[in-house]
Structure 1
Amino acid sequence: MVNKPSPSRTINLAFTGASGAQYGLRLLQCLVASGCRVHVMVSKAAQVVMATETDLKLPGTPPAMQRTLSDYASAEPGQVLVFGREDWFSPPASGSGEKAPLVICPCSTGTLSALATGASNNLIERAGDVALKEKRQLILVPREAPYSEVHLENMLKLTRMGAVIMPASPGFYHRPESVHDLVDFIVARILDHLDLLQELMPRWGEARVSAKLESSDGFGQQD
């Protein structure tokens, strides 16, 4: 599924209350499989959405969530850490904490608004604020349709601040045969942005390059 790089890398992953919990859960599996340590944050609305869209029911406390998500992703002990919504002493809450990318997947339009205006009413919003002010990698995966003018203005503002806006809009050129294939399309793009090796799907043009290499002679010249 995913090749394993250094096990010492940390990725911050937040789930908010937009539709598309499957994207975040699949991303968690892939990050764990890649050997990353994952710091997880879950909003109250995300718990509701997750229970509605999947068979996974998250318990109410961070330690219990941590056990559930660790089992779900087949994580090693301590590889998945869940922090509470007001855990201001957690690493994602401060610029002096561990420097790590933050992916909010899925990202609600309410979270977009909070980040665009500098609100820090909970740990997820504070982690996003830290990522922006420290110029750390911030990937936001909204899943909304249609976008209002406010949504678009917030996305433009956040893009100008350095965030990557990656709507959960899968392509079809890989000829998906299942919903799982559509989910993997977006997760593969996130992993690419995080510079993590992935085999969920080939990158655009790889087949063309392989064909050219196979048709060339031992000196790399075309016939």
Structure 2
Amino acid sequence: MTWHEVWPLLWPATRDTLYMTLVATAFTAVLGTLVGVLLLLTERGGLMPVPPVNKGLGFVVNVGRSLPFIILMIAIIPFTKLLVGTSIGNAAVIVPLTVGAIPFYARLVEIAVREVDPGVVSAALAMGASRREIVTKVLLREARPGLVSGLTVTVIALIGYTAMAGTIGGTGLGQLAITYGYERFEGKVMLASVVLLTLIVLIVQLIGDVASRRLAHK
């Protein structure tokens, strides 16, 4: 296979990888933040202490983080089909990507929010702030650098997960590398796929680092 034959394969694969990653990231950012904040609020000594809920939620998060993605992807096929109407294709891949990333990001959110200075929270309580205001205007605002750093790590993990999309009929750079580079021994396709994936990861890391540093100085 010549380079002229390789290039037309790369753009659709890159587009599909970015599509799956970006959509899964959007859902993960919202739901993962919600779960992470709930983990902190419902613990003993939290703003809304409910130990049974905290333990149950923590158990679910720990189980979700411990499952290898390939197993998770296959195990939730019925749930995937229920949500998107199909168990194959890129739309179907987004479901396990999101389900697998939420517990991972939730723990990072919990860590970031926990590092907020308790004195800031105490001051907000003394000024009569409601729980919602403390969460949105104090905890999440003060934790923004850590949240962005955590999301950056999560996005990079999601890019790696997309390499297994072919298991349920998805596409992307990872699947292209496996199908052509590994199974058909096309070294140029493998090389180009790896270079593009590496480039995407480096760009994501750069954007995340810059955003985190700027938020830390605000």
Measured against the shorter chain, the TM-score band is under 0.3
Higher-strand-fraction structure: 1
Normalization by structure 2: what TM-score? 0.26
Larger Rg: 2
* Structure with bigger RCO (C-alpha 8 Å, 6+ apart): 2
Higher-helix-fraction structure: 2
